[in-house]
Structures are given as C-alpha cells and as structure tokens.
Amino acid sequence: MREADEMVGRLQLIRRRGVKIARMPRQIRRIDASHYSVKSQSNSDWYDVTWHKTSWKCDCPYHAKTNQSCKHIYAVLHRISVSSNEQDSVKCPRCGREDRIIRRGYSKTRCGFVPRYECKRCPRHRFGSRTDFERLKYSGHIVTTALDLFFKGLSLRSIADHINQFQGFKLSHLTVYRWVRRYSILMARYSRRVSPKVSGIWHADETKVNVNGHLRNLWFLMDHKTRYILAVQVTKRKGAADASRLMVPSMKRVNGPLSVITDGLGSYKRALGNYAARTGSPIRHVADTGLTKRMSNNRIERLNGTLRQRTKTMRGLDNDVSAKAFAQGFAAYYNLVRPHASLNGRTPGHAAGVSRPEGTNRWISLVKAPERRK
C-alpha cells in the first residue's frame, strides 16, 4: 500500500514539474503536430518528444530507463491541452452552453492526446473534444486537409501518402474518397438552403467530362459580379430541357431584369425564350459575343479552365452518381472555400453574403455551418 502511494505521489510530482515547464517561456518548441523539443532544466540540452502511433516518446534518460511518462512529455501534453482550450469554443453536448466549461486534463486516443472538459451546469458530465466532426476518429484538421488537397488537384492516393508522411496517420485512399463523397453532399445541402445576393448579369456554359469512358456535359450557371456558381448539373445531352433545368430554378427568385450571357448553343435560346413567353419576365439573351467584347463569357470560361485543371489528375469519374457528387462538391468549394484575387481575396460566397469564414480554416467553418442549420 505504501509503495502504491509513493508511486502516485511521484507521478503527481512529475506532472507538476511538467506543467511548470509548460508555463515557462521559451521552453517548448513545436516542430510539427507530432514532434516537440523541450529544454532540459539541468543543462543546455533539448529533448525530442515525439508521437509514436500509440504513445509519446522522449529521449531523456528518465524515459529511456523507466519507459514512463516524464516531465517533458507532461509539459507537451499541457501545452497541447491549453492551446486547444484557448483556440476552440467548447460547448457542452448536453446543454449547449459554453460559459461553465472547465478543462479536466486530457485523454489518449488514436489521434494522440486531446483535451477533456467538464460542464458545471450538468453534474458529473465530462466530455472530450475528440474530433471537430461527428463520429470520426480523425480530427477535423486531418479531414479538411484531405478535402482541400482533393479539390486543389491531388489524387486520392497522393493525399493518403501526404497525410501519412506529414501527419503520421496511415490512411487508405478509399477513406479519403468516402470523406469527399460525404462532405460534398453535406456542402451541396448547405448551398441549396442559402440565398446569395447576386447581380442582374449571369453566365451559362457547359464543358465535357469523362465519366467511365463516356463524355458527359457539366453545366455551370455563374453570377457576373460575385463569381458565385448558382447552379451545376451533369447531363448526357445538351437540349433545351437540360438548359431549362439549369437556369429556371434560379431565375424564379429574380424579380428585376436579367441578362444571360452564353455561347452559341441553340438550347439556351430556346430555353430562355420558352421561359420568357411563359412568365413574361424581361430576359435579355447575349449569345456568342466573342472574347474581346465587353459582355463576353470570359469569366465562366476561366471557371472551366479551373475545372479542367482539377479533373486532369482524375482520369475520369466512375459513374453518373459520383460525377454529380463531384460537381456539387466542386461548386461548393469554388463558392465557399477558394479565394479569388479579383474579389480582394474573398470567396464568392463571402462576396454574395452567404458565408463569412470564421478563422483561417474555411473548411471547418463550412462543414460546421450545415450542422448548425439541421
């Protein structure tokens, strides 16, 4: 019994020393998410504290001899938990309040050590910020890194290799694919619920994409001023009915005059003429004006170039369902995540008044937004 008490007392003493080191300035250097350097308290050496799949390791003599957590490891753990507590707004999953939340150490997970909290409003209720996304073992940082790299042009296997090298988590490319499918659908639902503030000039165009060896038509409808993609679809044909499905749902929300700029495809003229005759709406159709004209289709042609740059590494899409999910996810990425130099570094969603990113990680802000609106 005395030996157990002595062991507990020694452990508490090591923890207090680690917390003391963490609170001192310039004692811990962060190399990356799984690698830290901690200054020795007895000499001028620095000890490496690294994450090895299931536990933290330190190259100090105490840890090498006992294989137990040393004060340097506890200093890093305190640094991680305090940083997470300062940067994140933590809410109780029961009452939804954040004014009575206190930190209660940390817990060991497959992704490392993460903070634990206690809500003073809910008796004996403790919880951990295990992940930024619901029911995922990986943190929101890992998931959003994979999403961002995918829509910026990397292949699924390249993304898995990148995360394995720089984050230390061995992922399958199929896991990345499931993330892309899941959050593309989530972002598409969020995009359908918002009402962007757009101008009275729109652009419409279509381009070819490879779907399992067959060419399909990927349509875009874009606002001139904000560059916001109003509608997207994937079809087999390019008839007037397909053009109507692209434009009519968005045009129903417009009260004033509208100008639509397209190429020379006759389907646009028939679709707009039928809609104007049926509703009596004042719609001006500008077709095939040339790239040097003032009212040209240059802006949506630039969007097509961005799309081709992304699909070049994909070597085609698997089927029509995945093509639709990719198109919706790409439109949401273009609207709400990708900044534009012509918009002073803002996203089209920010310019259209539907999304103002919170913090530097626009993906986190975007993925949490649909969950708040369910």
Quick one: DSSP state of residue 16?
Answer: H
From 306-310, 316-320, 324-328, the region with the lowest mean pLDDT: 316-320
Counting Cα atoms < 13 Å in the Cβ hemisphere of 373 gives 14
pLDDT at residue 194, rounded to an integer? 83
pLDDT digits (tens, 9 = 90+) for 29-44: 887 767 888 999 888 8
Looking at per-residue pLDDT, the higher value among 324 and 127 belongs to 324
Helix then strand count (H, E) for the chain reads 12, 12
pLDDT tier, 367 (very low <50, low <70, confident <90, very high otherwise): confident
- Hey, how many other C-beta atoms are within 10 angstroms of the C-beta on 359? 8
pLDDT tier, 87 (very low <50, low <70, confident <90, very high otherwise): very low
User: Which amino acid is it at 23?
Assistant: R
Instruction: Check pLDDT > 70 for residue 1.
Output: no
User: Which amino acid is it at 331?
Assistant: A
pLDDT digits (tens, 9 = 90+) for 11-23: 888 888 888 888 8
Considering the four listed CATH numbers 3.30.450.20, 3.30.420.10, 1.10.3720.10, 3.40.30.160, the one that applies to the domain covering 196-320 is 3.30.420.10
Q: Which residue has the tokens 């939804």?
A: 96
Instruction: Check pLDDT > 60 for residue 86.
Output: no
Quick one: DSSP state of residue 313?
Answer: T
Instruction: Check pLDDT > 60 for residue 267.
Output: yes
pLDDT at residue 348, rounded to an integer? 92
pLDDT digits (tens, 9 = 90+) for 342-358: 899 899 999 998 877 76
pLDDT at residue 233, rounded to an integer? 92
pLDDT tier, 374 (very low <50, low <70, confident <90, very high otherwise): very low
Report the predicted TM-score, pTM, of the whole model to 2 decimal places: 0.67
Q: What average pLDDT does the segment 48-63 reach?
A: 85
Of 371, 373, 336, the closest CA to residue 229 belongs to 336
At how many degrees (to 10) do helices 362-372 and 320-336 cross? 110
Instruction: Check pLDDT > 60 for residue 248.
Output: yes
pLDDT tier, 218 (very low <50, low <70, confident <90, very high otherwise): very high
Instruction: Check pLDDT > 60 for residue 217.
Output: yes
Instruction: Name the average pLDDT for the chain.
Output: 82
Instruction: Check pLDDT > 70 for residue 129.
Output: no
Token pair in block for residue 21:
């080191």
Token pair in block for residue 318:
């698997």
Instruction: Check pLDDT > 50 for residue 3.
Output: yes
pLDDT digits (tens, 9 = 90+) for 133-170: 666 777 777 888 899 899 888 888 999 998 888 777 78
Q: What average pLDDT does the segment 109-135 reach?
A: 68
pLDDT tier, 81 (very low <50, low <70, confident <90, very high otherwise): low
pLDDT at residue 371, rounded to an integer? 45
pLDDT at residue 205, rounded to an integer? 92
pLDDT tier, 202 (very low <50, low <70, confident <90, very high otherwise): very high
Angular region, 302: left φ>0, alpha ψ -120 to 50, beta rest? alpha
Give the residue extent of every domain in the chain: 2-82, 88-128, 196-320
- Hey, how many other C-beta atoms are within 10 angstroms of the C-beta on 294? 5
Q: Which residue has the tokens 């799949």?
A: 53
pLDDT digits (tens, 9 = 90+) for 171-189: 889 999 888 888 888 888 8
Token pair in block for residue 207:
């381009």
Q: Is 220 within 8 Å of 300 (Cβ atoms)?
A: yes
